[in-house]
């Protein structure tokens, strides 16, 4: 089935900051939010990032916190994405009904899994998503009828490639219509391929896997992203990737206190 998607849509909504930046090839920068705080979400959204991935996989984020963070981030003109804890259809529905501008789905290893994700992220006739929430229209700053007409082609569906199986099947995964972006989880990828983390970044098998993922994304016209630990690495990675996620709110707090305490006690 051929239909407009986030990659091809002609719709422009200034509230969809990440999508607009990706389509303009302006190299947007995201980060991860792992703390269950409406205020933390607001603070991070005011830093200048283009998108925030609310981490329901590894973060301390409940369904309630996900709703609050999504609303807080969107209200400040930044794009909230939700990383799900697994691939269940109800988790996709909850994230999108909260108003997420997209979803990030971990541990996708086959094209069949990717197709299932897309089917639950799209309203009919492209998919199986049900309608009933008033909240996503608020996060998109539009009315419900407009949201219903535009959601299928403005929401970003991102799948994570972070295992040996995912790398082996990445070409077929990237070929799935409705997959807009692939995201490299370097730590889980290193664990799967090398048996340890963090990767040094020079291991041939690790480097080849990343190159293979990027090549598959480019071949099928998908955006490709990855985690970057700091600003310097972001700058380097953005030479290759369409967008990056710069670290994590938890690590940012830890790193600041660690560095400043070293200065204070020196």
Does the pLDDT at position 194 exceed 80?
A: yes
State the pLDDT confidence band at 243, using cuts at 50, 70 and 90: very high
> What is the overall mean pLDDT for the chain?
97
CA distance 169 to 77: 36
* Catalytic-role residue among 58, 60, 67, 88: 58
Active-site residue flag, 220:
no
Does the pLDDT at position 90 exceed 70?
A: yes
Does the pLDDT at position 1 exceed 70?
A: no
86 token code pair: 């697994």
pTM: 0.96
Instruction: Give per-residue pLDDT as tens, 4-57.
Output: 999 999 999 999 999 999 999 999 999 999 999 999 999 999 999 999 999 999
Neighbours of 80 (CB within 10 A): 28
Instruction: Give per-residue pLDDT as tens, 224-233.
Output: 999 999 999 9
Which superfamily does 17-265 belong to? Phosphoenolpyruvate-binding domains (3.20.20.60)
**Domain extents for the chain?**
17-265
Average pLDDT for 167-193: 97
Instruction: Give per-residue pLDDT as tens, 120-162.
Output: 999 999 999 999 899 999 999 999 999 999 999 999 999 999 9
């Amino acid at each position: 089935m051929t239909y407009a998607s986030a990659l091809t849509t002609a719709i422009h909504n200034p509230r969809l900051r990440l999508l607009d930046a990706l389509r303009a090839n302006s190299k947007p920068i995201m980060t991860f939010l792992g703390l269950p705080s409406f205020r933390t979400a607001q603070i991070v959204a005011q830093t200048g990032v283009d998108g925030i991935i609310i981490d329901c996989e590894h973060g301390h984020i409940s369904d309630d916190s996900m709703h609050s963070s999504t609303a807080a981030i969107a209200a400040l003109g930044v794009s909230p994405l939700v990383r799900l804890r697994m691939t269940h259809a109800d988790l996709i529905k909850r994230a999108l009904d909260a108003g997420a501008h997209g979803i990030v789905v971990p541990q996708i290893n086959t094209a069949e899994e990717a197709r299932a994700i897309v089917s639950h992220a799209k309203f009919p006739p492209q998919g199986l998503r049900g309608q009933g929430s008033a909240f996503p229209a608020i996060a998109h700053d539009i009315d419900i009828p407009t949201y219903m007409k535009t959601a299928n082609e403005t929401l970003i569906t991102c799948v994570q490639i972070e295992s040996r199986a995912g790398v082996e099947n990445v070409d077929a995964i990237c070929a799935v219509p409705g997959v807009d972006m692939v995201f490299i989880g370097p730590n889980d990828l290193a664990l799967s391929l090398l048996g340890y983390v963090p990767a040094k970044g020079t291991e041939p098998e690790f480097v080849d896997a990343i190159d293979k993922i990027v090549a598959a994304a480019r071949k099928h016209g998908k955006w490709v992203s990855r985690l970057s630990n700091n600003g310097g690495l972001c700058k380097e990675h953005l030479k290759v990737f369409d967008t990056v996620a710069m670290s994590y709110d938890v690590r940012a707090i830890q790193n600041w206190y660690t560095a400043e305490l070293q200065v204070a006690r020196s």
